[in-house]
Amino acid sequence: MFQQGFELFFSPRLTLKQKYRVLRWFFYSKVLDRDIIRSVEIIHTLLCNASCRFCSNGKLSEATPKMKAAEVKMILDKLAAYGVPAVIFLGGESLTDENFFDYLQYARERGIITLLQTNGIALDEPTIQRLGQAGLFKITITLHDTLPANHNAVVNRSGALETILAALPLLKRQGIKIDLKTIYSRDSLSNGAFDRILVLAKKVGVSLNVNPFMPVGRGINEAEMFSDKEKESYLSVTVKDQTITTHTKNEYGDHCPAGREYLGIAPDGEILPCYFLPVSVGNIRDTDIATAQKRALQLGIFKKGATSCVVAMNREFYRDIITELYSGRFDLPVRVYEHPYLQEKFTRFSRTL
Ligand code: SF4
C-alpha cells in the first residue's frame, strides 16, 4: 500500500494538487486509522454500446439513464470539498457520454485523480489521445475472453476484442496505467476464458482485476452464488497470484472497501456503499459524504478489515437479505435507513458476521 502511495506521489501524470490529496488520504487513513473515502465511482450514464447478458446495472436506477453535466460537476465539487483523492467514471459506458472529457478535465482541475472503467469498444486512436491529454490516470478494461468470437458474443459487438488489443500499446504510450478486468464465474472457468485472460494480462504486464460472479442485477436469475468449494477455489486463485487484484486484495491492502473507503453514485444521485448491493445511503443532491458514510457503516455488514465479500460470498446474506431486496417489494436501490424493518434485519445479520 505504501508502494502505491510512493508510485502516485512520484507519478509525472499527477498535478501537485492531486498529490496533496493522496498524501492527505494516506495520513488520515493509514497514520490516524480513520475511515476516509479514497475513491468514489460515478455511474454517470447507464447508456452503453454493449448489451452484456449479466450486466449488474439491470435494476439500478432504470428511470434515470444519464446524469446532467451540471450534476456531475456538482458531485465533483462535493468530492473535492470532502477531500476524496480519486474518482472512477463508469457506466453503462462512459465513453458514450459526450461530456465525459469535460468531466475528466473538471475533476483534474479540482485535484481529483481520474480513473475510467470501460468495455473498450470506443478505444480508437483519437479517443486514446484525448484521454491522455485530459490526464486520465488509469483505465480498467473489461474482458470476457481472449478469443474474439467469445468476447464479442458476450458484449454483442463485432470487433470489440480486436479494438481492445490494438488499444493496449497506444494507452501505454500515453502513459495511462492499464488494468484488465474480468469475472470469475462457472462459465469463465469451465470454458477456459479466465485462464486465457490471466495469461494475456501477464504477457502484457498489467494487473487483472477479478470480480467473483455476483447473483445480483441482471445476474439475479442467471445462476446461484458460489458453493463452498467454488469459494475456496476463487480465494486460492486470487490470493496467490500476484497479477490478480480483487475488491478486497489490491494496492491499498486486503479488505472490503464498502462504505469505509469507497462509495458509488448512481445516475439518479443515489449513493451506494457497494456497487453490487442495491442499497442507498442517501442522495448526493441533499446528502453530504460524511452522512452517507455514517449510514453505510450503520448497516453493520461492512466490518472493518473484512477480507471476505459479504455480498458475493455469504450464502446466508444472499438467502436472507439479497433475495428480499429483489423480491419486488422495494424500489431499488432501497434506502434501508428509511425502513426500520430492513435496518433491523441488517443489524441482526451483522451480529452473525
Ligand atoms: S461487499 Fe463485496 S462487492 Fe461490495 S465492496 Fe465489499 S468486497 Fe466489493
Distance 158 CA to ligand 1 centre (A): 32
Integer angstrom CA distances of residue 298 from 73, 79, 231, 262, 336: 28, 21, 27, 15, 10
**197 — pLDDT class (breaks 50, 70, 90):** very high
Q: What is the pLDDT of residue 34?
A: 93
Q: Would you state the pLDDT for residue 224?
A: 66
Atom of ligand 1 nearest to the CA of 301: 1
pLDDT tens for 285-309 read 999 999 999 999 999 999 998 888 8
Atom 4 of ligand 1, residue of closest alpha carbon: 274
- The pLDDT confidence band at residue 315, using thresholds 50, 70 and 90, is confident
pTM of the model: 0.91
Ligand 1 binding site (Cβ under 6 Å of any ligand atom): 247-248, 256-258, 274, 276, 309-312
| 204 CA to centre of ligand 1 in angstroms | 27
Long-range contacts of 19-25 (CB under 8 A, 24+ apart): 20/111, 21/83, 21/84, 21/85, 21/111, 21/112, 21/113, 22/85, 22/113, 24/83, 24/85, 25/83, 25/85
Mean pLDDT of 194-222: 84
CB 244 within 8 A of CB 238: yes
Residue 227 is predicted with a pLDDT of: 77
CA of 271 to the centre of ligand 1 (A): 15
CA distances from 283 to 52, 140, 335 (A): 28, 26, 10
Give the Cα separation of 28 and 37 in Å (integer): 10
Q: Name the residue with the closest Cα to ligand 1, atom 2.
A: 309
- For residue 71, the model assigns a pLDDT of 96
Sign of CA dihedral 307, 352, 332, 40: negative
The mean pLDDT value for 148-157 works out to: 94
Ligand 1, residues 37, 117, 211, 277: which to mutate, most atoms within 8 A of Cβ? 277
- C-alpha 125 to ligand 1 mean position (Å): 34
Residue among 310, 301, 300 nearest 231 (CA): 310
Cis peptide before 340 (omega within 30 of 0): no
255 alpha carbon – ligand 1 mean position (Å): 9
Nearest partner of 42 among 276, 264, 259, judged by Cα? 264
Task: From 216, 238, 248, 317, give the residue whose CB has the most ligand 1 atoms within 8 Å, as the site to mutate.
Answer: 248
Mean pLDDT, the chain, rounded, equals 90
Listed range (73-82, 151-160, 162-171, 184-193) with the worst mean pLDDT: 184-193
- Candidates 256, 281, 297, 308: which one to mutate for ligand 1, based on the most atoms within 8 Å of Cβ? 256
Report the pLDDT averaged over residues 128-145: 97
Q: How far is the CA of 72 from the centre of ligand 1 (A)?
A: 24
| Residue 217: pLDDT band with limits 50, 70, 90 | low
Taking the C-alpha atoms of residue 128 and residue 106, their distance in angstroms, rounded to an integer, is 18
Using pLDDT thresholds of 50, 70 and 90, give the confidence band for residue 192. Answer: very high
Q: Quick one: pLDDT at residue 54?
A: 64
